[in-house]
Chains A and B, each alone.
Chain A
Amino acid sequence: MTYRWNWSVLVTEPYLGWLLSGLTWTLLVAGTAWIVALLIGTGVGILRTLPSRTARALGTVYVEIFRNIPLLLQLFLWYFVIPELLPAEIGRWIKRDLPMPEFWTAALGLGLFTAARIAEQVRAGIEAVGRGQAMAAAASGLSTAQAYRHVLLPIAARNVLPPLTSEFLNIVKNSSLALTIGVLELTGQSRQIESNTFQGIEAFTAATLIYVLLTMLVIAAMRTVERATAIPGILARA
């Protein structure tokens, strides 16, 4: 091995700036995607547990579509194919006039994909509350909406916190796929550093450590939420 090590490349400009800009994009993509995934995932998860057959079918269709197509392919579809299928004017707006089209495509694509996975967890969380609680809510005269709002969802939300942590970690890591449609996030920037300086091993090591740090922060944050929201007696502490 004739590799010449040079760790100082990581703290010299412009490469340090590139790493930080990569980290910023990773946070932006993962953060935006997480908001999309939580909102849509919760909605679809609830749909799948409603008494209405149509609502359940709708939820199932969403989950099966988004969870059965590889994420990479979904990003390509959103980026390259969908704008071509839309009416020319809208397609052109998405491709050219929308500010940062790559970022929005990546964040939405990743969010919609993760929403399908979160929906499944929310459904499982609601079902785990048990029929007894739902029946008791109905017997006390609560409407379906009230039963969800006051009885089922508050407990289900606590049920799904641990699996949600995994999804949050996945979204941080999957955000690296955004580089395939041109978002220079952390992995993209470390590749950029590699091809500019040929110090690839240093750049990828730095990116790895930043990911590990980031995911450990996510785990710590989610643990704090779990602890703060735990109801004594209902759930065993995670």
Chain B
Amino acid sequence: MSKFVQGLAATSLLGALVLAISPSLAQGAGSGTGTSPILQRIAERNALTIGHREASVPYSYIDREQKVEGYSVDLCLKVVEAVKERLGKPGLQINYVPINTTNRIPLVANGTIDLECGTTTNTLARHEQVAFSPIFYITGTQLLVKTGSGFKEVEDLAGKRVAVLQGSSNEQSLRALNDGKKLNISLVYAKDLGEGALLVETDRVDAFAADGGQIKVYAATRAQRKGSLSVVGRLLTYDPYSVMIQRGDPEFAQLVSRVFAETFRAGEAEQLYAKWFGPLGIEIDPILKAAFEIQALPR
């Protein structure tokens, strides 16, 4: 009697095990939607939604023909290709949704956006809400000043006015530095990159503290008079950029990691860097090059 019960229990346990495994056996690893809710919703809608920035040249922006493009967007398109292949949907559509620093995290967290392709710093605190791709760009806080102002480092700005972006990581680090070193800098809050630069150009502030990569591009391309703005100072923070995806989907996260590793390994990331930053006269940083090599995980 008890043997019969044991046998029954064992059989049903085995049955349950087979049932649990069978879907993945049937589909094989790495094809179809698997157990990934993100891939499932992409397959259902037959569309993938990319969140992009509107004016973060050359990372993620809308060009004159109203086309969304940039370095971050191109990297995301590599992921899109992999999703198309995996789902067997070559005709998969891409929806573009503009995002800003305020709404980007909620929109990824609530599933409106499948891939966030902008200039988001990968921080541990943000891992509480979202998941991240490997790092595709490295920068840090630097200072945009008027050429010939004589300011070299943040310490030279003691008692001066310095603009920061509202709620940026640059603002947090500058505030900590200001308090720690008693520099008595008064912070002025700007809404976006263009406004911060305008504050410098109109002498409202002595410097604008922001991501070095972005203000270098601004100084090179958008300064009112060529050469009137320069970027100075050591890197005050470490800001690695990653693509954000919804949290809690290891299968999709793995797909993204694989695409990035392959893009790094094949040297495509470096080519894309040259494509977007070359025309601006900005060479690839040795640290970023090393990051590409380190993250080019073998198959």
- A and B: real partners? yes
Q: A102 CA to B188 CA in the complex, in Å? A: 8
Complex contacts, A192 vs chain B, CB 8 Å: 166-167
The number of chain B residues touching the other chain, given as a range, is 20 to 34
Contact of A191 among B102, B172, B190, B248 (CB under 8 A): B102
With A1-B110, A102-B189, A200-B106 known, 5 other A-B pairs at CB within 8 A are A3-B129, A80-B198, A83-B202, A192-B167, A195-B166
Let me know if A1 and B167 touch, CB within 8 A.
no
Chain A residue contacts of B166, Cβ below 8 A: 179, 182, 184, 188, 191-192, 195
A3 touching B109, Cβ below 8 Å: yes
- Contacts of B202 on A, CB cut-off 8 Å? 80, 83-84, 95
Is B44's CB within 8 Å of the partner chain A? no
Closest 3 CB pairs of A and B: A195-B167, A182-B189, A1-B110
CB distance from A206 to the nearest CB of B (A): 15
Q: Within the complex, what minimum Cβ distance (angstroms) separates B22 from chain A?
A: 28
Number of interface residues of A (CB under 8 A): 27
**Beta-carbon contacts under 8 Å, B189-225 to A:** 189-191, 198, 202-204
Instruction: Write out, one digit per residue, whether chain B residues 177-196 have a CB within 8 A of any chain A CB (1) or not (0).
Output: 00000000000111100000
Q: Are A194 and B129 in contact (CB under 8 A)?
A: no
A83 and B201 CA atoms in complex are apart in Å by: 13
> In the assembled complex, how far is the CB of residue A74 from the closest CB belonging to chain B, in whole angstroms?
16
Look across to chain A and name the residue whose beta carbon is closest to the beta carbon of B169.
A195
A23 to chain B, nearest CB (A): 17
Give chain A residues whose Cβ lies under 8 Å from the Cβ of B109: 1-3
CA distance A197 to B168 in the complex (A): 11
User: Is B101 an interface residue when CB atoms closer than 8 A count as contact?
Assistant: yes
Task: State the CA gap A129–B205 with chains docked (Å).
Answer: 51
A198 in the interface (beta carbon within 8 A):
yes
Residue in chain B with minimal CB distance to A192: B167
What string of 1s and 0s marks CB contacts (under 8 Å) between B101-118 and chain A?
111011001110000000
The closest CB in chain A to the CB of B191 belongs to A180
CB <8 Å contact, A2 and B167: no
For residue A10, CB closer than 8 A to chain B, the reply is no
Is A96 on the interface with B (CB-CB < 8 A)? yes
Shortest Cβ distance from B92 into chain A, in angstroms?
23
A182: chain B residues at CB < 8 Å are 166, 188-191
Q: Which of B9-47 contact A (CB under 8 A)?
A: none
The yes or no answer to A40 lying at the interface (CB within 8 A) is no
CA–CA, A35 to B78, complex, Å?
A: 58
The chain A residue with its CB closest to the CB of B111 is: A1
Give 5 A-B contacts (CB < 8 Å), ordered by A residue: A95-B204, A101-B204, A182-B190, A195-B166, A198-B105
Is B289 among interface residues, defined by CB-CB distance under 8 A? no
Instruction: Report the minimum CB–CB distance from A184 to chain B (whole Å).
Output: 6
- From B204, B246, B247, A96 is in contact (CB under 8 Å) with B204
Docked Cα-Cα span, A180 to B246, in Å, equals 30
Residue B156 CB within 8 A of the other chain = no
Smallest Cβ-Cβ distance to A102: which chain B residue:
B188
Chain B residue with minimal CB distance to A81? B202
B106 neighbours in A (Cβ, 8 Å): 3, 200-201
The one of A1, A96, A184, A196 that contacts B203, using a Cβ cutoff of 8 Å: A96
Q: Give the shortest distance, in Å, between A83 (CB) and chain B (any CB).
A: 7
Q: Is B265's CB within 8 Å of the partner chain A? A: no
